[in-house]
Amino acid sequence: MGIVSGLARLVLEDGSVWHGAAFGASGTRLGEVVFNTSLTGYQEILTDPSYAGQIVVMTAPHIGNTGITPDDDEARRAFLSGFVVRDLSPRVSSWRATCPLSEWLARQGVPGIAGIDTRALTRRLRVTGTLKGALSTDPTCTDDELIAQARAWSGLDGVDMVQAVSCQMPYEWRASTAAPWEFRQWRAYPPLDLPPDGLHVVAYDFGIKRNILRRLSAFGCRVTVVPALTPAEEVLALRPDGVLLSNGPGDPAALPYTVAATRALLGRVPLFGICLGHQILGQAVGGRVYRLKFGHHGGNQPVKHLPTGRVEISAHNHNFAVDANTLPPEVEVTHVNLNDGCCEGMRHRTLPALSVQYHPEAGPGPHDADPLFVEFVQLMIAHARDAGRH
């Protein structure tokens, strides 16, 4: 169970060829090759829709030891193009597991390759930047043919990847994070004065992770999830107390319809952007986005909250960032990445809108970023009070 069989190759557009053992699905998949520095949580990574169109390299050497547990899925299926590991565990050692990683990847249609020197591969990506690649188990393709496919692939720049991962119909979400996860007695803030009927959040699904929905529910919100193409007026017709702009894959500059909807909502209802949602909000207020050299992917990125000087260890998955120098004066940068100084969070000085580039729901702390949800809830409480609902 979970033991690799057959051979596989990972080729990069720079002409390098990496040989290893195949696991998961068979076939050839193209994608951007990125590395993730998380030590744990490979299932949450595999089911994060933000990885659509990417081949993920895990820098932690031993992967697969806890198998797969359906309760830990962040989306309805895996959207990534391939998975690269140093050592695939031949044994599953978790009482929660229902199947091994290799079997699950095969069902998801995602090929994997093991036995790769992931440290050398990561160093290459850090020096050259993100590269296009092909992961193949097909012995009939030559190395040169695979390299040509990788080079000919259009990549993700300028491509709307959101439509491939967003829901097609609205749905309601009520499930919360489990009570043992909360540690409510450790919270450093007073109880929230919610309206009698709670708060209603409309969440745009640009590739939303389920734990974002669970955390909103844990803070007293009932959530309506809507497709990415939903116009602003349809969202407002649902009478939300707040709107969440979710994470998602691809190039944020290729999503003008999301920016237009966000701009139409700005100032009319509290907004909270996460990851891609942060980049969309940044464009809606007049800023620009740019591609990072190799992105931020992992659960150990240090981020500084500028108003307090507090440092959070945070989870990231993004290849693009908001250019802080292009933001208007009425938008304040609230968080910066301590590795490269890029903008990790912002808030509008006069309108109820905030966003962060990282994933507060992922919780490496696990509660370092809970104040972000508290701030969003407080903005919604004030909005409900102004609307006469509280």
Catalytic residue numbers, as ranges: 275, 359, 361
293-311 in b/e burial notation, b at 16+ Cβ within 10 A? Answer: ebbbbbbebebbbeeeeee
Radius of gyration of the chain (CA): 21
Cα distance between residue 136 and residue 28, in whole Å:
4
Residues in Cβ contact with 60 at an 8 Å cutoff, skipping those fewer than 6 apart: 37, 38, 39, 40
Which token pair is 195? Answer: 């309206």
Q: Helix count (H) and strand count (E) of the chain?
A: 9, 19
For 186, residues 6+ apart whose C-beta sits below 8 A from its C-beta are 367
List phi, psi (to 5°) of 104. Answer: -65, -45
Q: How far is 119 from 148, CA to CA, in rounded Å?
A: 25
Q: In whole angstroms, what is the distance from residue 142 CA to residue 135 CA? A: 12
Q: Nearest-5° angle of CA 85, CA 91, CA 92?
A: 95
